[in-house]
Amino acid sequence: MQSFTDLTGLDDPAERNGTEGTDGGSGRDGGPAARDSLPVMAGVAAAIAGVGGALALADVTSPLRAPFALFFLIVAPACAVAAPLRGLDPLSRAVVATGGAVAVDLLVAQTMLALHAWTVRGGVVAVAAVSAVLLLLAFLLAHARRHRGRATRSRAS
Protein backbone atom coordinates (compact mmCIF):
# COMPACT_ATOMS: atom_id res chain seq x y z
CA MET A 1 0.00 0.00 0.00
CA GLN A 2 1.36 3.38 -0.97
CA SER A 3 1.34 6.15 1.63
CA PHE A 4 1.75 9.89 1.34
CA THR A 5 5.12 9.76 3.08
CA ASP A 6 6.47 6.94 0.91
CA LEU A 7 5.53 7.71 -2.69
CA THR A 8 7.78 4.99 -4.06
CA GLY A 9 5.30 2.31 -3.04
CA LEU A 10 7.99 0.44 -1.13
CA ASP A 11 6.62 -0.16 2.33
CA ASP A 12 8.72 -3.23 3.08
CA PRO A 13 12.32 -2.54 4.21
CA ALA A 14 13.50 -5.54 2.16
CA GLU A 15 12.07 -3.91 -0.98
CA ARG A 16 13.86 -0.62 -0.15
CA ASN A 17 17.18 -2.48 -0.11
CA GLY A 18 16.70 -3.54 -3.74
CA THR A 19 15.44 -7.09 -3.23
CA GLU A 20 12.36 -8.10 -5.18
CA GLY A 21 8.98 -8.19 -3.51
CA THR A 22 6.37 -10.91 -3.69
CA ASP A 23 5.32 -9.93 -7.20
CA GLY A 24 8.60 -11.13 -8.76
CA GLY A 25 9.44 -7.77 -10.31
CA SER A 26 6.28 -7.42 -12.40
CA GLY A 27 6.05 -3.69 -11.72
CA ARG A 28 3.33 -3.70 -9.10
CA ASP A 29 4.10 -2.05 -5.78
CA GLY A 30 7.15 -0.19 -7.11
CA GLY A 31 8.99 -3.13 -8.67
CA PRO A 32 11.68 -2.76 -11.32
CA ALA A 33 9.17 -2.38 -14.17
CA ALA A 34 7.44 0.50 -12.37
CA ARG A 35 10.75 2.26 -11.78
CA ASP A 36 11.73 1.76 -15.42
CA SER A 37 8.48 3.32 -16.63
CA LEU A 38 9.05 6.63 -14.84
CA PRO A 39 11.56 8.01 -17.40
CA VAL A 40 9.25 6.88 -20.20
CA MET A 41 6.32 8.71 -18.64
CA ALA A 42 8.46 11.82 -18.18
CA GLY A 43 9.46 11.66 -21.83
CA VAL A 44 5.84 11.31 -22.93
CA ALA A 45 4.87 14.29 -20.76
CA ALA A 46 7.69 16.36 -22.26
CA ALA A 47 6.61 15.40 -25.76
CA ILE A 48 2.98 16.34 -25.07
CA ALA A 49 4.07 19.67 -23.59
CA GLY A 50 6.32 20.33 -26.59
CA VAL A 51 3.54 19.51 -29.04
CA GLY A 52 1.18 21.77 -27.08
CA GLY A 53 3.61 24.68 -27.25
CA ALA A 54 4.23 24.09 -30.95
CA LEU A 55 0.51 23.87 -31.75
CA ALA A 56 -0.16 27.11 -29.89
CA LEU A 57 2.74 28.93 -31.55
CA ALA A 58 1.90 27.67 -35.04
CA ASP A 59 -1.81 28.55 -34.58
CA VAL A 60 -2.83 25.11 -35.86
CA THR A 61 -6.53 24.35 -35.74
CA SER A 62 -6.71 21.01 -33.97
CA PRO A 63 -8.88 19.50 -31.25
CA LEU A 64 -5.68 18.67 -29.36
CA ARG A 65 -4.40 22.26 -29.35
CA ALA A 66 -6.25 23.47 -26.23
CA PRO A 67 -5.53 20.51 -23.90
CA PHE A 68 -1.90 20.15 -25.02
CA ALA A 69 -1.27 23.90 -24.77
CA LEU A 70 -2.82 23.94 -21.28
CA PHE A 71 -0.57 21.00 -20.37
CA PHE A 72 2.44 22.98 -21.62
CA LEU A 73 1.40 26.07 -19.64
CA ILE A 74 1.26 24.03 -16.43
CA VAL A 75 4.18 21.61 -16.93
CA ALA A 76 6.86 24.00 -18.21
CA PRO A 77 6.83 26.35 -15.19
CA ALA A 78 6.17 23.45 -12.80
CA CYS A 79 9.37 21.70 -13.93
CA ALA A 80 11.27 24.96 -13.64
CA VAL A 81 9.99 25.58 -10.11
CA ALA A 82 10.56 21.95 -9.04
CA ALA A 83 14.18 21.84 -10.23
CA PRO A 84 15.75 23.61 -7.22
CA LEU A 85 13.46 21.86 -4.69
CA ARG A 86 15.33 18.55 -4.53
CA GLY A 87 15.38 18.57 -0.72
CA LEU A 88 11.59 18.23 -0.39
CA ASP A 89 9.70 14.96 -0.38
CA PRO A 90 7.96 14.18 -3.71
CA LEU A 91 4.44 15.16 -2.66
CA SER A 92 5.53 18.52 -1.22
CA ARG A 93 7.66 19.16 -4.27
CA ALA A 94 4.72 18.46 -6.61
CA VAL A 95 2.36 20.71 -4.64
CA VAL A 96 4.85 23.60 -4.48
CA ALA A 97 5.73 23.20 -8.17
CA THR A 98 2.08 23.19 -9.23
CA GLY A 99 1.35 26.27 -7.14
CA GLY A 100 4.42 27.99 -8.55
CA ALA A 101 3.35 27.10 -12.10
CA VAL A 102 -0.07 28.63 -11.57
CA ALA A 103 1.56 31.72 -10.06
CA VAL A 104 3.94 32.10 -13.04
CA ASP A 105 1.04 31.72 -15.49
CA LEU A 106 -1.08 34.27 -13.63
CA LEU A 107 1.77 36.77 -13.34
CA VAL A 108 2.57 36.49 -17.05
CA ALA A 109 -1.08 36.91 -18.01
CA GLN A 110 -1.61 39.84 -15.61
CA THR A 111 1.53 41.61 -16.82
CA MET A 112 0.64 41.16 -20.47
CA LEU A 113 -2.94 42.32 -19.89
CA ALA A 114 -1.77 45.37 -17.96
CA LEU A 115 0.58 46.27 -20.82
CA HIS A 116 -2.18 45.67 -23.40
CA ALA A 117 0.10 43.16 -25.08
CA TRP A 118 -1.89 39.95 -24.63
CA THR A 119 -1.80 37.39 -27.44
CA VAL A 120 -1.92 33.63 -27.23
CA ARG A 121 1.44 33.26 -28.95
CA GLY A 122 2.97 35.96 -26.76
CA GLY A 123 1.67 34.26 -23.62
CA VAL A 124 3.13 30.90 -24.62
CA VAL A 125 6.47 32.52 -25.49
CA ALA A 126 6.51 34.50 -22.22
CA VAL A 127 5.76 31.43 -20.09
CA ALA A 128 8.44 29.46 -21.96
CA ALA A 129 10.95 32.30 -21.43
CA VAL A 130 10.20 32.62 -17.71
CA SER A 131 10.45 28.84 -17.33
CA ALA A 132 13.78 28.79 -19.17
CA VAL A 133 15.15 31.55 -16.94
CA LEU A 134 14.03 29.69 -13.80
CA LEU A 135 15.64 26.46 -15.05
CA LEU A 136 18.84 28.32 -15.86
CA LEU A 137 18.92 29.83 -12.36
CA ALA A 138 18.37 26.40 -10.80
CA PHE A 139 21.20 24.96 -12.90
CA LEU A 140 23.56 27.80 -11.98
CA LEU A 141 22.74 27.49 -8.27
CA ALA A 142 23.34 23.73 -8.33
CA HIS A 143 26.60 24.24 -10.21
CA ALA A 144 27.74 26.88 -7.70
CA ARG A 145 26.89 24.58 -4.76
CA ARG A 146 28.86 21.72 -6.29
CA HIS A 147 31.82 23.96 -7.04
CA ARG A 148 31.74 25.45 -3.53
CA GLY A 149 31.59 21.94 -2.02
CA ARG A 150 34.63 20.82 -3.99
CA ALA A 151 36.60 23.93 -2.98
CA THR A 152 35.75 23.32 0.68
CA ARG A 153 36.85 19.68 0.47
CA SER A 154 40.10 20.56 -1.28
CA ARG A 155 40.96 23.15 1.41
CA ALA A 156 40.24 20.61 4.16
CA SER A 157 42.71 18.07 2.78
Sequence spans of domains, the chain: 31-156
Q: What are phi and psi of 132, to 5 degrees?
A: -65, -40
> 74-93: per-residue pLDDT in tens?
999 999 999 999 889 999 99
Asked whether 49 and 64 are in contact (CB, 8 A), the reply is no
> 60-72: per-residue pLDDT in tens?
899 999 999 999 9
Q: For residue 122, what pLDDT band results from cuts at 50, 70 and 90?
A: very high
Asked whether 96 and 85 are in contact (CB, 8 A), the reply is yes
In the chain, % helix, strand, coil (3-state, to 5) comes to: 75, 0, 25
Q: For residue 21, what pLDDT band results from cuts at 50, 70 and 90?
A: very low
